[in-house]
């Protein structure tokens, strides 16, 4: 296990690259300052700050994108009170949860449980309850997340007035829909939207996905 000093790259850190990438962002964003737990989070991940994941973990508290629609985790911050280590504890093995959205979708880096493409990004889609490959890595994911392609990706998962509704939603919450979006009756326009804790939504997704896989 590497110690903290081995993980902090003073010669070629990824933070300047991330900041330069954000300068070209097509969407509004907040890159939050790191928390006092950043060293603990980086040590837990065992990745260098030369990587974009390591830099997000150590140099930032997280990244909030597009009026709060997408939340990319870092070391935690009062505006995003979750970090990459604590949030992943007890929430599955073989992947690392790195971001989530307001419709109850989750982004993860594949650690072997989601497919043969180790290190690739996946999305647990609320309208299918299936892990879907994005065919990009984490660095490209960050650039994609602040680009105009985000709106294309979420086509069909946004409703009239979504920006207004996000004003009352916390970053540790999401909207839960009923009927569920993965059912024939469910849709973001017709289903009832309820604000729930993001942890509660993840647990619900696990239970529902298990029911679907069992054919019950």
pLDDT tens by residue, 56-77 = 999 999 999 999 999 999 999 9
The Cα 117–Cα 99 span in angstroms is 19
Mean pLDDT for the stretch of residues 202-211: 92
Averaged pLDDT score across all residues of the chain: 95
With 0-12 / 13-18 / 19 or more C-beta atoms within 10 angstroms meaning exposed / middle / buried, residue 196 is middle
0.85 surpassed by pTM: yes
Q: How confident is the model at residue 206 (pLDDT cuts 50, 70, 90)?
A: very high
Domain span including residue 119: 4-214
**Domains held by the chain: number:** 1
The Cα 163–Cα 165 span in angstroms is 5
pLDDT tens by residue, 150-183 = 999 999 999 999 999 999 999 999 999 999 999 9
pLDDT tens by residue, 92-141 = 889 999 999 999 999 999 999 999 999 999 999 999 999 999 999 999 99
The Cα 192–Cα 186 span in angstroms is 9
Query: At 31, which CATH number?
Result: 3.40.1580.10
Collect all residues with Cβ–Cβ distance below 8 Å to 46 and sequence separation of at least 6: 1, 2, 7
């Amino acid at each position: 296990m590497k110690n903290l000093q081995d993980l902090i790259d003073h010669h070629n850190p990824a933070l300047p690259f991330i900041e330069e990438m954000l300068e070209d962002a097509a969407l509004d964003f907040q890159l939050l300052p790191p928390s006092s737990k950043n060293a603990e989070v980086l040590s837990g991940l065992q990745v260098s700050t030369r990587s974009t994941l390591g830099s997000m973990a150590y140099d930032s508290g997280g990244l909030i994108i597009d009026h709060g629609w997408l939340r990319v985790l870092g070391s935690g911050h009062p505006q995003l009170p979750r970090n990459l280590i604590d949030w992943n504890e007890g929430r599955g093995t073989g992947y690392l949860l790195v971001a989530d959205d307001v419709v109850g979708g989750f982004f993860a880096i594949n650690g072997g449980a989601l497919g043969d493409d180790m290190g690739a990004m996946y999305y647990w889609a609320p309208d299918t309850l299936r892990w879907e490959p994005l065919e990009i890595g984490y660095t490209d994911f960050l650039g994609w997340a602040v680009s105009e392609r985000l709106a294309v990706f979420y086509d069909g998962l946004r409703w009239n007035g979504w920006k207004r509704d996000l004003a009352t939603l916390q970053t540790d919450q999401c909207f839960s829909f009923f009927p569920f979006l993965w059912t024939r009756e469910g849709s973001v326009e017709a289903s009832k939207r309820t604000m729930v804790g993001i942890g509660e939504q993840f647990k619900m997704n696990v239970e529902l996905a298990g029911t679907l896989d069992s054919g019950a």
